[in-house]
Amino acid sequence: MIISSLKEDQKIENRIAITPEMAKKYIELGFEVLISENYANHLGIKDQEYLELGVKNYKNDSEVITNADIILQVGFLSEDQNLLLKENQILIGSLDPYNNKKKISDLTKRKINVFSLELLPRITRAQSMDILSSQANLAGYKAVIESFAYFEKAIPMMMTAAGTVPAAKVMVVGAGVAGLQAIATAKRMGAIVFATDVRIASKEQVESLGGKFLIVEGSENLETEGGYAKETSEDFKKKQEELLKETLKKIDIVICTALIPGKKAPIIITDEMIDGMQQGSVIFDLAAVQGGNTSSTQVDTIVKKNGIKIIGDSNILNKLAVSASNLYSKNLFNFVSNLFDKENKKININTEDEIIQKTLIK
């Protein structure tokens, strides 16, 4: 069995799908590993590190594709690369199935097995493969670090002979994996942290990290069976707006993380709320690529509005590409291991396995 990966389009993506550590593990399982030339040079990982492990590399991407049984990627292949895929090959990655329906449909019609790991079920056995959680953890951490860098005041409270510097107040919108990591990071840095989420179950998690949970009066638990947030009612939105409008007047930094799978990100912070914030405040919007949680967010742009900076990164993980690649490649290895029949040394696409059934796109 041959497993391969091609260098990503670095205008979009700096992460890699196979690190040297994971290449070694694939080889130990019995796979042959192929990568494209200069695969991870941009991360300071030379081809020689792979070659010394027994990995092969090719200058021509078409050779990497046509010789592979399994292709591991971070994002989708290019249109030209997709045309090279053959019947019964397996493509695994973070393929954004909600926005790439036609591309994926074209591949499945050609009998190519497409697995998108965003679709993993929220079950204990799948946790080691959960790319959304591993990457969101890093995104939440980095969003706090980036926003603090743009904030022109100190974060922790400081008592000096010249007077006291008050602690910065941080609001985290959305207490999923990214939001909880943002809360933990901001608290470690000495900030006073508030958080809000439509899922009442998040309250205990927020408070366990030292954050203050803001709850909309009379709210119900808006959580799907899979643990994701549901869309809110108009009545809830109005109550949430009033609560946020008053709270944001005292907040210095806002980290937005609220997403609904497969849909445009909900607008939670309106222009009116932003107008009421203190000058010098910073909003970091992790939902930018899905439209943003503020009405002023622009992708890969720092919008300055009435003295407030609104930051929307398209891929914040590119700023942590080494750490993100290490976790992502481990997630992929665990997924491939679940597909691999070790006794017969072959891939077994067992659709009775919930993990395989949910991630395989037909």
Question: Does 325 share its domain with 289?
Answer: no
Which token pair is 200?
């009442």
What's the mean per-residue pLDDT of the chain? 93
pLDDT of residue 155: 97
Question: Does 160 share its domain with 308?
Answer: yes
Question: Does 170 share its domain with 280?
Answer: yes
Residue 9 in domain: yes
Note the pLDDT tens digit of each residue in 341-353: 888 888 999 999 9
Does residue 144 carry a pLDDT above 90?
yes
Does residue 232 carry a pLDDT above 80?
no
Please state the rounded mean pLDDT for residues 240-260: 93
Does residue 228 have an active-site annotation? yes
Which token pair is 308?
């407030």
Boundaries of domain holding 336:
2-130+321-361
Question: Does 180 share its domain with 289?
Answer: yes
Residue 26: pLDDT band (50, 70, 90) is very high
Amino acid at 165: V
Does residue 245 carry a pLDDT above 80?
yes
**Among residues 228, 298, 323, 353, which one is catalytic?**
228
| CB contact at 8 A, 59 and 29 | no
**Among residues 122, 150, 295, 337, which one is catalytic?**
122
Question: Does 309 share its domain with 333?
Answer: no
Bridge partners (DSSP) listed for residue 163: 160
Residue 140 in domain: no
Residue 245 in domain: yes
Residue 197 in domain: yes
* DSSP 8-state code for residue 267: -
Please state the rounded mean pLDDT for residues 154-178: 96
pLDDT of residue 309: 98
Does residue 229 carry a pLDDT above 70?
no
Say how many CA atoms lie within 13 Å of 162 toward its Cβ.
2
Residue 143 in domain: no
Question: Does 206 share its domain with 283?
Answer: yes
The pLDDT > 90 percentage for the chain reads 86
Domain count of the fold of the chain: 2
Q: What angle do CA 223, 224, 225 make, to 5 degrees?
A: 125
Does residue 150 have an active-site annotation? no
Would you tell me how many other CB atoms lie within 10 Å of the CB of residue 242?
12
Query: How far is residue 44's CA from residue 57's CA, in Å, rounded to a whole number?
Result: 17
Does residue 133 have an active-site annotation? yes
Does residue 235 carry a pLDDT above 80?
no
Say how many CA atoms lie within 13 Å of 340 toward its Cβ.
20
Does residue 156 carry a pLDDT above 90?
yes
What is the CATH classification number for the domain harbouring 126?
A: 3.40.50.720
pLDDT of residue 216: 73
Prediction pTM value: 0.91
Does residue 285 carry a pLDDT above 60?
yes
pLDDT of residue 188: 97
- Cα-based distances in Å from 192 to 148, 163, 211, 213, 249: 13, 19, 7, 12, 15
Question: Does 117 share its domain with 200?
Answer: no
3-class DSSP assignment, residue 302: strand
Question: Does 74 share its domain with 183?
Answer: no
Question: Does 298 share its domain with 342?
Answer: no
* Residue showing tokens 């205008």: 11
Does residue 218 carry a pLDDT above 70?
no
Does residue 220 carry a pLDDT above 60?
no
More confident residue, 287 or 219: 287
Q: What is the DSSP string of 315-330?
A: -GGGGGHHHHHHHHHH
Please state the rounded mean pLDDT for residues 169-188: 97
Residue 145 in domain: no
Residue 135 in domain: no
**Among residues 61, 130, 197, 313, which one is catalytic?**
130
Q: What is the CA radius of gyration of the chain?
A: 22
**Among residues 78, 127, 208, 314, which one is catalytic?**
127
Does residue 127 have an active-site annotation? yes
Question: Does 39 share its domain with 101?
Answer: yes
Residue 137 in domain: no
Does residue 125 have an active-site annotation? no
Please state the rounded mean pLDDT for residues 307-333: 97
Residues 6+ apart with CB under 8 A from 294: 256, 267, 268, 269, 270, 274, 283, 285, 310
Question: Does 193 share its domain with 291?
Answer: yes
Question: Does 176 share its domain with 109?
Answer: no
Please state the rounded mean pLDDT for residues 14-39: 97
**Among residues 133, 202, 240, 281, which one is catalytic?**
133
Please state the rounded mean pLDDT for residues 260-284: 93
Residue 305: pLDDT band (50, 70, 90) is very high
